[in-house]
Amino acid sequence: MRIALTVGHSLLKNGSYTSADGKKNGGCNEYVWCKAFSKQLAKNLIKEGHKVTCIICPEKKFTSYKQEKDYKLNIINNGNFDLVIELHLNAATPSAEGTEVLYKSTAGKKYAEHIQTQLAKIFKNRGAKQRNDLYILNGTNPPAILLETFFCTNASDYKKAKGHINRNKIAKLIAKGIQNAI
Ligand SMILES: [Zn+2]
């Protein structure tokens, strides 16, 4: 498959991230983790025979998070992709934990559920969820899923996702989930 792998959020011109930051709770910055993770996930997807295009918003160029949407949708909808995967981390009070994969379409649901099953081997299973209010799920021609891999605001979730080895474990599970869905 031709997969568009997008990193949610961006680093704005003024130096601030548009993502959540769980560092003060012993967690991590959502954008920073997802950007590092995207490289490892791309490698694992390529290993399975997919063609992967990584989409990361240009850093220190945008002045508002609103520019992220047009930038990403333009690339996705002018490319010839079979699937869109957007990377996020959840954020809430420090005790909230676990993994969830969001989808809108029936085609997206199949991928979401298989990835959810795999990610639940590491994180608390919050279930795959249908959402109708997210532009990455609404605005793309190919089916899209949005991964809220864990809570960046939860210290024990982050412990399981910190560093290269843990990230690679998670990337392998997601690649396996996609294989199971095909
Ligand atoms: Zn996010």
22 near 32, Cβ under 8 Å?
Answer: no
Distance 20 CA to ligand 1 centre (A): 7
77 near 141, Cβ under 8 Å?
Answer: yes
* Structural domain count, the chain: 1
Residues 8-36 pLDDT 10s: 999 999 999 999 999 999 999 999 999 99
Furthest-apart CA pair in the chain: how many Å? 42
Taking each continuous run of H as one helix and of E as one strand, the counts in the chain are 6, 6
CA distance 1 to 142: 11
Residues 95-145 pLDDT 10s: 999 999 999 999 999 999 999 999 999 999 999 999 999 999 999 999 999
Return the CATH number at 162. 3.40.630.40
Can you tell me whether residue 87 is helix, strand or coil?
A: strand
Per-residue pLDDT at 34: 98
Structural domain of 54: 2-181
Distance 92 CA to ligand 1 centre (A): 11
Distance 98 CA to ligand 1 centre (A): 15
Looking at the whole model, is its pTM more than 0.95?
Answer: yes
Per-residue pLDDT at 155: 98
Q: Kind and range of the H or E element at 86? A: strand 83-90
Per-residue pLDDT at 64: 97
Per-residue pLDDT at 59: 98
Average pLDDT, the chain: 98
